[in-house]
A and B are shown apart, each in its own frame.
Chain A
Amino acid sequence: MSGDRSHIAEEVLSAYVDDPESVEDRAGVEEHLASCATCRATADDLRAVMAAIRDEETWWIAGEMINGNGQRALRELVERLETEDAQAERMLEPIVESQYLFTKANITRRRRFHTGGVVRRLCERAWEECQREPRFASVLAETAAAIAEALPDDYYPAAAVNELRGRAWKEYSTACRYRGDFPGGFDALVRAERAYRRLIDPDVHLAAVELARAAMLFEQQRYDEALRCARKAADVFAERRDLKRYFDAREWEAMILHRLGDIAAARATYHAAYDMADGADDLEMKARAANNLGLAYLDNGDLGSAIKYLRVALQIYEGLGQTTMVVHVRWWIANVSLAGGNAVDAAQRLPSIINELEAGGRASGAARARLDLAEALVQLGRFDEVHAIASALVTYFRNAKMITGALTAAAYLKEAAMNRSLTVEGVRHVRKYLGDLEQTADLLFLPPPQ
């Protein structure tokens, strides 16, 4: 029965498991199995192997191991993507650094630029350019979307060309947000959704659209709607273990909560994002989290912590060359000085910040920074300069066709400065009014109570 006297030979056991009738000494085998746990375990193991051999799935896996059809298709796709990216890099390098050259090249009309690699590269460039030059970012992303839409539906297998289309429209919406073109941005998000829904697994892409929508609603101060979108996106990213984007979504959620006044909840999330970015060596995320932490501490009156995190953010943004963010962080550092009663420092910092905001086409930001400067100058008793600032605000509001309450508020500021009756509270009252005006367009300006 066996080479090893104490157990049944595996060959015999195998034949028995396969077909008990085929074994000569069937009764002997069964008698032994009844009393030998080791042989019973071996028999069970053999039965499992036999079941696996009879399973169609096993043969499919074996077929893939032998033929490698699935693997080959993926390898070919990866090679194609890498080649497309390399070619796009070469074709776009001479034109993509300058808006003039890029516009002149008019690549939408040139067939050789109609590739997935070009769309991907343009999307990357648009994202990089959003901070520096949102108008150019719009041009890049719009071109990417036009090319992606022109590609045939079967450009990639599995309708994957829709990933490119969705990505391009989403980048375009981001550029619109940076430019303040919210209708254009929302429309682009609808187009992105339409493309993503054609994918086999659209959920994670749709969550990214939802997050982009949250950002847009945030800019419009529609915080409740923004909060719903950010949370919805965070849930999907958590389910998909997409940690980076999960923390992006949570960060937006925190910023919204911050604006809604729940500073403690906001700060806890910022800290988590900061720690995660630090661990993951993600400088952009770290800078953003540090910046947000700084602002949360500033709002809470913890100026020491505020300045600590804002300096971290400033250093990183400078290193990354994100000039728009550099100016903004410098502005917030000036605000820390102002909140700490160091009006001299704030008054020194703010003029260059105002100039840079204006040079970058951020006129509304420059107007708000002027109010901060006015507050510092009022503290220093330099009313003539406040008067000049108020005059500049009147001009700005007139040019921006804000001829109702905003203009009245600026006129109040100008007159109170001229009379030297303007107080810090008066400046803050105007600042608050202008903030409220963004939400309620027809809000009337009333001077602060004496």
Chain B
Amino acid sequence: MQNPAVRGSDKTMSETRAATVAAAAAAGQLYLDYAPLLRRVAVRKFNVPPAEAEALVHDVFINYLVTPRRVTDRHLRAYLVASICNASRNYWRSRHAEARVFAAGACDVSSAASHDEVLEGLARNLTVASTLAKLGARCRELLNRYYLRGEATPAVAAAMKTTASNVNYLMHVCRKRARAIYEQITRVGE
């Protein structure tokens, strides 16, 4: 860990608290910045089941946070990718299924962390995820049922306690909202 803020005796309690809050916020942001990439590496490169990959990613971050900081921000991505690769290998080793690991191939940090095919589409998924996160809960549920779970309109209507024609109308409205948010995000991104 980095030295705690209390080291300097001239620091007030509120300054110390502020430093702690800032460090905690930075950890949260770190997770948001890198967790999707690490999860994708675990799932697509090492065939780790998604739910297990999520737990692995979480453990990788915990281990990173409890270890004294030595890696610069510039190299953080490569460090974390190497870490999830090792964690994924160990995941399969612990399940006595090494053949699957080797079938998945070795994890080349530089390629996995930059322009590897593993990264393809991740930026789009992040943008769409941001769009979904900004939608209302009802729209999100509707889109989730229809697109992710593949439920038919009557099933969606039943689950959402409405009529099939209203589902069609809602779908139209939600897609329109989503498109507007998506365009706004990508415009800012540009």
Contact = CB atoms under 8 A, between A and B. Distances in A.
B160 to A, nearest CB: 17
A72 interface: yes
Contacts, number: 196
A201 B125 contact: no
Given A60-B39, A74-B27, A163 B67 contact: yes
Interface string A58-71: 11111011101011
A201 B23 contact: no
7 contacts: A11-B175, A62-B140, A64-B31, A64-B36, A82-B23, A83-B20, A158-B58
A54 B148 contact: yes
A58 B132 contact: yes
Contacts of B154: none
A71 B124 contact: no
Given A52-B124, A167-B68, 4 more contacts: A11-B175, A57-B125, A68-B28, A85-B4
Interface in B75-95: 75, 78-79, 82-84, 86-87, 90
Given A158-B62, A199-B63, A244-B70, A56 B148 contact: yes
A75 B182 contact: no
Contacts of B140: 62
A81 B128 contact: no
A90 interface: yes
Contact of A59 (B4, B29, B83, B132): B132
A157 to B, nearest CB: 5
A75 B25 contact: yes
Nearest to B83: A201
Given A81-B1, A86-B6, A200-B63, A73 B75 contact: no
Interface in B145-183: 147-148, 175-176, 179, 182
B97 interface: no
Contacts of A242: 70-71, 75, 79
Interface of B: 1, 3-7, 16, 19-21, 23-32, 35-36, 39-40, 43, 50, 54, 56-63, 65-68, 70-72, 75, 78-79, 82-84, 86-87, 90, 109, 121, 124-130, 132-133, 140, 143-144, 147-148, 175-176, 179, 182
A83 B28 CA distance: 17
Interface string A33-58: 00000000000000011111111111
Interface SS of chain B: helix
A160 B68 CA distance: 12
A163 B132 CA distance: 38
B39 A57 contact: yes
Interface residues of A, number: 63
Contact of A157 (B59, B86, B90, B121): B59
A316 B47 CA distance: 51
A241 interface: yes
8 tightest A-B CB contacts, nearest first: A241-B75, A61-B129, A71-B28, A85-B4, A158-B59, A65-B133, A52-B128, A62-B132
B82 A160 contact: no
A75 to B, nearest CB: 4
B75 A243 contact: yes
B128 A58 contact: yes
A90 B147 contact: no
Contact of A82 (B4, B25, B56, B121): B4
A13 B30 CA distance: 37
Nearest to A11: B176
A90 B75 CA distance: 34
B70 A158 contact: no
B143 A53 contact: yes
A14 interface: yes
A240 interface: yes
A120 interface: yes
Contact of A61 (B7, B16, B71, B125): B125
Max chain A CB contacts within 10 Å: which of B39, B78, B125? Answer: B125
A232 to B, nearest CB: 16
